Structure 1
Amino acid sequence: MRRESGSAVVEFVMLGVLLFLPLVYLVLALGRVQAGAFTVSQAAREAGRAYITTDAGEDPTGRARAAARISFLDQRFEDTGTLTIACDGSPCLRPDGRVETTATVLVPLPLVPAFLEDVLPLSIPVTASQVSTVDRFRVLP
Structure 2
Amino acid sequence: MRDDDGSAALEFITVGVILLVPLVYLIIALGAIQEQTLGVEAAARHVARTIALAPDPATAAATSERVLADVSGQYGIDEGSTGLTVTCFPAGAACPSAGAIVTVTITASVALPLMPAVFGSDTAAAIGVEGSAVQKVSRLWGTG
TM beyond 0.5: yes
Identity %: 31
Name the TM-score, length of structure 2 as normaliser: 0.85
TM-score by length of 1: 0.87
Q: 1:27 is matched with which residue?
A: 27
Shift in CA distance, 17/57, structure 1 to aligned 2, threshold 3 Å: closer
| Alignment correspondent of 1:136 | 139
Q: AA paired with 2:110? A: V
The residue identity in structure 1 corresponding to 2:87 is A
Within a 5 Å distance, the mapping from 1:1-141 to structure 2 comes to 1-56=1-56, 59-79=59-79, 80-88=81-89, 89-115=92-118, 117=120, 121-138=124-141, 140-141=143-144
More helix by share: 2
Paired residue total? 140
Runs of 4+ aligned residues of structure 1 deviating over 4 Å after TM superposition are: none
For structure 2, the residue ranges without an aligned partner over 5 or more in a row are none
> Which residue identity lines up with residue 133 of structure 2 in the other structure?
Q
Asked whether the 8 Å contact 1:94–1:140 carries over to 2, the reply is: no
| Cα displacement (A) at 1:77 | 1.0
* Post-superposition offset of 1:109: 0.8
1:112–1:122 CA contact under 8 A, matched in 2: yes
TM-aligned CA deviation for residue 72 of structure 1: 0.8
More displaced 10-residue stretch of structure 1: 48-57 or 130-139: 130-139
Q: Structure 1 residues 139, 106: CA separation in 2 closer, same or farther (over 3 Å shift)?
A: closer
What residue ranges of structure 1 are gaps of 5+ in the alignment? none
